[in-house]
Amino acid sequence: MPERRAFGSLRKLPSRRWQARYCGPDGAVHTAPHTFTSKTDADAWLAQQRADITRGTWQSPAEVKAVQEARERARVSFGDYSRHWLEHRDLRPRTRQLYDRILVRDLLPSFGETALSDIAPGMVRAWWHELPPDRRTGNSHAYSLLRTIMSTAVEEERVGTNPCRIRGAGAPSRKRHVKPATLDELAAIAEHMPDRWRLLVWLGAACALRIGEATELRRRDLDLSHAELAVVRVRRAVTYRAGQTVVGPPKTEAGSRDVTLPPNLRGMLLDHLDQWAQPGADGLLFSGVRPASGSCDCGHSGCKGGHLAATALYPHWDAARQAAGRPDLRLHDLRHTGAVMAAQEGATVAELMGRLGHTTPAMALRYQHVAEGRDAELARRMAARWTG
């Protein structure tokens, strides 16, 4: 028969060992996970359980098991966990390649053999301060990836807290000042571009397109049903990885958007469709030069080549921007130019987000610049209102 105690009960088994049991705060009867060689040891175990209940630190056997399993999971190395993390993420090819490069270059050498549970804030801070100071953007990307991986580990209860706590480390400062192009500079650049790609300059600026969005545009992406306007439907973008063309959705969730082309460019667009765009609804607006060896495999009889690759476009772009006196202007800066022009015409932040395909106001505001002379013009308008 069990011996009743002030707390719990003891029973001597046929093996002459002692078994201890008690009723926990959860109302369930719990038996010690092992038997005891003496009655004194069994009593001591019951006393420990009672003390834990009194202090409020008691955990049920299920909770204890869960904590132990979490600790065992946390013993997995950062290298193994990060590889598994990357493999099971739904990422675009370019992003996956970037993350893999950051892991190999920046994270695995320092954390690869370390258990997740052993990565502490001090270790992360020491690693951060040892990164090359002249690579601020790359360092911020590395820190952001480490923080993201560890956040997943927290969500999966592999670690208790995220050790990445360096304020501002994941937000690189912009080192390059972007000066948007003026209309005269755009005209000069377009004039020095090959005819088949001249519209790309105006379209990139007027619709604030990313270069991958512009070079994946097809005839079916244009709405010409209005008398004066043309609507450009951005639904895809093209990237190049390891020599392969990859077509997918735009960069952000809000990247799929409809952008209205200024009416004065409609005629230029129609001329381009007649002369340079590939035929058929799926014909590319901007294509590369037909290979000397023959036609490409796009299926269009009038094809002038496949997707327009950077290797074909950039030499002409470089010559055109040099001729226009803007050797600093990148192709992506046409997007900055379009954002500034829209803002100067009174576009709200929400309208800029829609036109640029951004999901947050902060991202749209990154493309805002004070155009040269714009502040003086605003001051003159204020004076006219105050004195009028």
- Catalytic machinery residues: 210, 332, 335, 358, 367
Is residue 316 within 8 Å of residue 194, measured between CB atoms?
A: yes
Quick one: which of 357, 313, 350 has its CA closest to 208? Answer: 357
Neighbours of 320 (CB within 10 A): 21
224: tokens are 């010409």
Residue count of the chain, please give it.
388
Is residue 283 within 8 Å of residue 218, measured between CB atoms?
A: yes
Quick one: which of 322, 278, 70 has its CA closest to 185? Answer: 322
Cα–Cα distance, 333 to 209 (Å, whole number):
10
Cα–Cα distance, 21 to 299 (Å, whole number):
79
Cα–Cα distance, 317 to 324 (Å, whole number):
11
Let me know if 76 is exposed, middle or buried by CB neighbors in 10 A (0-12, 13-18, 19+).
Answer: middle
